Chain A
Amino acid sequence: MAKENSQRLAVAKTVKMFIGGAFPRTESGRVYKVNNRKGQLIANACRASRKDLREAVVAARGRAGAWQGISAYLRSQILYRMAEILEERRDTFIDARRALGDTPRSATRSVDRAIDDIVYYAGWCDKLTQVFGSVNPVASPHYNFSSLEPMGVVAALVGHGQGLKGLIDVVVPALAGGNTVVVLADEADPLTAILFAEVAHASDVPPGALNVLTGQVADVAPSMASHKDINALVHTLTDAAQAAECARLSAINIKRVIARDPARKGQMPSAYRVLDTVETKTTWHPIGV
């Protein structure tokens, strides 16, 4: 738990979740122990229930129109603001990584990378449709164009041990695409995820646009996959049985399933990750007077 020294007793932080812009405890009333890699207890984290998921999806659905509706320029600035705040809290994040057992070097590298990745995705917000949309030269007198729109509510699962990088990889591209997001953080590293939620909270990310749950995949994933108000599920699960079960349950509402293999080479941030979470809308209009 929190460090002590002879002068004073440190004030330990209660780790809560992030739903609808607030930091509630879990509805389940249950916590689980978070250990560092040496097996020492570093905190208790909320063990989210499916009801927490339900509340998070309500918050995300409620905000979907607004987050989609703001200009891409503004969304870009809000994401960039996240990078600014994260940079400001860089040491806090590095400390959190080290508390888990990262070496100083690897802690620093992962946090710096997170910041730079967010900057990268922030820049895509107002370019995505420009680069990946199209004007289509149909063979009839119509003006026809394809633009990109968010899928809506995207749920995300971060696989075991993927920590901050796993979180950024699934959450930030979906936000950049204009989706609202409900993410279940890496079970082994809920603390960094909640720090990240605090960054979002301080960055004008509208309440409900990002919701962070902590807990266990087995508790939350089935309800996530079968939830009919979730449009897409992005995950980096490495457990094949869990991934297959999520894929099977997702068919209930033809949920888009984006399975990312964290072991696959070339896992750099990419515009194609944003594309995974958007729909193409094609509009026709006749030409003529």
Chain B
Amino acid sequence: MAKPTGEPLPFGAGDALAYAPAPESTEHVQLDERYGLFIDGAFKTPRSRRFFDTVNPATEQTLARVARANAADVNDAVNAARRAYERHWSPLKPAERGKYLYRIARVLQERAREFAVIESMDGGKPIRESRDVDVPLAAAHFFYYAGWADKLPYAFPGASPQPLGVAGQIIPWNFPLLMAAWKIAPALACGNTVVLKPAETTPLTALKLAELCRDIDLPPGVVNIVTGAGATGQALVAHSDVDKLAFTGSTAVGRDIQSALAGRRTRYTLELGGKAANIIFEDAAIDQAVEGIVNAIFFNQGHVCCAGSRLLVQESIAKDVLRKLKRRMQSLIVGDPLDKNTDIGAINSKAQLERIKAYLELGRADDLASFQTETSLPATGYWCAPTVFTGVAQSHRLAREEIFGPVLAVQTFRTPDEAVSLANNTPYGLSSGVWTDKGAKVFQISAQLRSGVVWANTFNKFDPTSPFGGYKESGVGREGGLHGLSAYLDVQDAAGRGRA
């Protein structure tokens, strides 16, 4: 706020009318200096004896040291999960299973603030998003799937669904807690036990979730958390006693996993990359569309597999849309993730920032017109100002490859057919956006888009009841909703012809 001097307010001058910092307190956050592996209901020193730092990307300061699980550690975790599956979890009445999940949901709601703050500290996302999106949705996921535990036959008409056993789960760093919930909740509800590997750069909320599981008396071994980097994930994929592998991450790693599982009985679901087209027709509500464009690409610093990273805007309104977009972008606040005013937080890691910068260089090397918001970035930490490239061609790598950062590639189109053709001209197929005020057009276009999620006149909305997952190279299977259950069940048809 304005400085309390006796002089008249320098109205309109300087930063007098800028928002004052509104940082979320970190006082109530308790982090250990060091975290072991959560195996069989307790934190254990890793057999590897090795630990690594997890860093706050906004300050570059180490938050804690975390165990690096090796193959022997992973083996311990899988064995614990197997024992828990056989001794505790599968004999348990489904309704009781559900009650454990309800407990997790409730305590997560109780401790929401703490989880949100840690999420923002460890991953760099704005507190507004971790507070209003990540943590509430994670709790909602547990709450939603809790209710399914004793109702599974209703989800599979004519069939008798059976749990698979031990699920190995590998999750990314963009929504650490939420992805853990997406993986653990349906797996447990369906009667499986899990070994979850969080991302190397964001292990803390998963470890806090492990504490929570211990605190609510979840039977030991039902949830195991093994931290580490790629090698830990590989050990989990390679383990022969894993019945199901669920992975969220890049298409390249997903491809390796699919290949590694060839010839094994292990089932898998994959949530992989995307390069979503966000299509704005001339009959859209333009100001809402501009909000949608911002939300589509700048939500969570663009670290979103379903981000609307390609903007396809009808030529007749392109100038207006870009003008409004630039103006709107100027009001985006980039900075301290813990500040409640912040719209765009820190890039998750130094490595990711380098990757994004390489793409910005590519755009410049291709002489593409670009626009970047004028914002002062903090001196320490990893930051990237929101960036828009215009006049992009399909042949440009900016239009073909997943950048996973706040970088938007803009193209124009003239006809609906051209828009659909451009939108589908990609190996990916995770999500798309359509903006038009004409209902008939919404249905026409959304049916033609080859993607697992279509946001019409909205973008980047998520809900536990809503299935999520990709076509083509964006993945296999669905997570969320009724359809997300089949990822964790063996569905044997009992009512096929001749039996009903």
Q: A residues engaging B (CB < 8 A)?
A: 116-117, 120, 131-132, 134, 136-140, 142, 144, 146, 149, 151-152, 231, 240-241, 243-248, 250-254, 256, 266, 268-272, 279-286
Known: A254-B254, A266-B493, A272-B493. A284 touches B454 (CB 8 A): yes
User: Within 8 Å CB of A116, what residues of B?
Assistant: 497
The main secondary structure of chain A at its interface with chain B is mixed
Contact with A along B244-274 (1 / 0, CB 8 A): 0000000100111011011100000010100
Smallest CB-CB separation from B258: which chain A residue?
A: A251
Contact of A282 (CB < 8 Å), options: B259, B466, B473, B476: B466
User: Does chain A have a CB within 8 A of B418?
Assistant: no
Residues facing A in B434-473 (CB within 8 A) are 442, 446-447, 450-458, 461, 463, 465-469, 471-473
* A285 engages B458 (CB within 8 Å): yes
Is B8 located at the chain interface by the 8 A CB criterion?
no
Given A134-B481, A139-B140, A283-B456: A144 touches B263 (CB 8 Å cut-off): no
Which A residues touch B261, using CB under 8 A? Answer: 247
B263 touches A250 (CB 8 A): no
Specify which chain A residues have a CB less than 8 angstroms from the CB of B140 in the assembled complex.
139
Q: Which of B262, B451, B495 has the most CB of A within 10 A?
A: B262
User: Does B10 sit within 8 A of A, measured CB to CB?
Assistant: no
A268 touching B454, Cβ below 8 Å: no
Chain A minimum-CB-distance residue to B492: A266
- Specify which of A138, A241, A279 lies most central, judged by the most chain B CB atoms within 10 Å of its CB: A279
4 pairs of A and B residues whose beta carbons are closest in the complex: A244-B263, A268-B496, A247-B262, A248-B262
- Taking a contact as CB atoms under 8 Å apart, the answer to whether B255 and A252 are in contact is yes
A140 proximity list for chain B (CB < 8 A): 461, 463
Contacts of A134 in B (CB 8 A): 467, 481-483
Between-chain CB contacts (< 8 Å), 19 pairs: A134-B467, A134-B481, A144-B465, A146-B483, A247-B258, A253-B473, A254-B258, A254-B272, A256-B476, A266-B494, A270-B493, A271-B157, A271-B496, A272-B493, A280-B478, A282-B452, A282-B467, A283-B455, A285-B458
Measured CA separation A241–B467 after assembly (Å): 34
Q: Which residue of the partner chain B has the closest CB to A123?
A: B497
- Tell me which residues across on chain B come within 8 A of A244, comparing CB atoms: 262-263
User: Are B476 and A146 neighbours in the complex by a CB distance under 8 Å?
Assistant: no
Q: How far is the CB of B4 from chain A (nearest CB, A)?
A: 42
Q: Which of A138, A245, A256, A285 contacts B466 (CB 8 A)?
A: A138
How far apart are the CA atoms of A250 and B259 in the complex, in Å? 8
B158 contacts A by Cβ under 8 Å? yes
* B498 touches which of A248, A250, A268, A279 (Cβ 8 Å): A268
Given the contacts A140-B461, A266-B492, A284-B458, A253 and B472 also touching, CB distance less than 8 Å = yes
Query: A231–B158 Cα gap in the complex (Å)?
Result: 27
Q: How far is the CB of B445 from chain A (nearest CB, A)?
A: 11
Interchain CB contact under 8 A, B259 and A142 = no
Q: Which residues of B contact A146 (CB under 8 A)?
A: 466-467, 481-483
Given contacts A272-B159, A285-B456, contact A280 B467 (CB under 8 A): yes
Task: For the complex, give the distance between the alpha carbons of A253 and B467 in Å.
Answer: 22
CA A254 – CA B270 in complex, angstroms? 9
B454 touches A254 (CB 8 A): no
Bound CA–CA A247/B495 (angstroms):
29
Given A247-B261, A270-B493, A281-B453, are A131 and B499 also a contact pair (CB < 8 Å)? no
Whether a CB of chain A sits under 8 angstroms from the CB of B427 is yes
Q: Determine the chain B residues whose CB is within 8 A of the CB of A286 once the complex forms.
A: 457-458
- Which residue on A lies nearest to B466, using beta carbons? A136
Give the distance to chain A from B241, nearest Cβ to Cβ, in Å. Answer: 19
**In the assembly, what is the distance between CA of A146 and CA of B480, in Å?**
11
Given contacts A266-B493, A270-B496, contact A254 B476 (CB under 8 A): yes
A285 touches B442 (CB 8 A): yes
Are B251 and A254 closer than 8 Å at their CB atoms? yes
Among B140, B256, B259, B497, max chain A CB count under 10 A is at: B497
